[in-house]
Structure 1
Amino acid sequence: MRVLLIEDDFILGSSLKKALEKHAYGVDWLRDGESGLAAIESLDFVAVVLDVGLPLLGGLDVLRRSRQKGKQVPVLLLTAFDSVRHKVEALDQGADDYMVKPFDLEELLARLRALIRRRDGRIETVIRCGDVNIDPSALVARKGEDTVHMTAKEFQLLKLLMERRGRYVTKNDIEYALYDTGSGIESNATEVTIYNLRKKLGSDFIKSIRGVGYMIER
């Protein structure tokens, strides 16, 4: 699946490109609005991640002109503005979703997956294990009838374990799936996240065997 990333900030753009590629997307990264618009008009992408503040041609102009030319590729807009007026303008110009900087990378990836599913006419079903269920598209976790509030990393780890329920997931697999291995993560980051999940979902919900990994049985 090929994604077009249009972002002029080098640090943010390179981080997003690396994260998207880590999650099996092919990425074309462009850094100005004119070349971005040309790419949308001439190439096929499953989605576009589009910054508002671009040189040569602003992100909203890129969005508006691409829609006027009949291009219906899903667009996730990135902006530094958080006012209702800016959100309304973005949606009116044809944005499919909208995120304000700074944002959580895991949330951006989840929103991007949701846009692609909607484009393909697919709906991700709720995942259930015992009395715990999660809705990956809405980033919601529940235990019984109660919503469980958790961080993006906690949600992603819980989703990974629930998707692989009945099988042990190694610490290395977890770190590869959830973290940028080049970012110098804390050695106990996985253990801390598991500890927090057990506090929220029950001490017996996630099983572990030292040297093997973690598992949700049911």
Structure 2
Amino acid sequence: MRIRPAGAHALLLDFTTPPVDPGTSPVDLAALVEAWRAELWRRREHGELVATEIVPAAATVLLDGVPDPVATAARVADWTPAPPAATADPGADPVEVPVTYDGADLPRVAEHWRTDVPAVVRRLARTEFRVAFCGFAPGFGYLTGLPAELAVPRLTSPRPRVPAGSVALAGPYAGIYPTASPGGWLLVGRTELTLFDVRVEPPARLTPGTRVRLVPA
């Protein structure tokens, strides 16, 4: 891990540099980022870290609003995160997202997985996902939980409009489009659940660290 300054009052924890193995898969990298996100949130709650924002991404965690970046970087460098399973809140139930599995790209996913459509649905339904980070659009959570060998490619040409609530796969991630937008992920289903609403707090239903189940509707 390398800790980089990012402006006057922010630090970027970059997990793509040694001692991380250059061959680390996106799935393993996501687990490392999640471990650090959980550790940093825990230490902030206990008063050991001052930061207004802790923002995970695919291979980094941003600490923003840090009063003393130099001193904070030195402290963080001495910390070792616990595995995500050890820091999970046992009282927090997974968010259950009711999904109608009728996506146009289910046959394509089945072909990549070398199985049939019912087996794809069963695998997705029994997997416990976790929100690794948010991006692309407000309320769009990148969900990890599938093994690296089940990663699927994006479409070579994105669809001009993907309906809100579409459940999709791309690379090692699953995701749910909170609003209608262009997109190149493979569509496997749809949900009626509202995932982003500016009138509630927090506006996003799925936030980093949240466990998620894509249950058949």
For the pair shown, the structure with the greater C-alpha radius of gyration is 1
Coarse TM-score class (shorter-chain normalised) = under 0.3
Structure with greater helix share of residues? 1
TM-score (norm 1): 0.25
Whose RCO is larger (CA < 8 A, sep 6+)?
Answer: 2
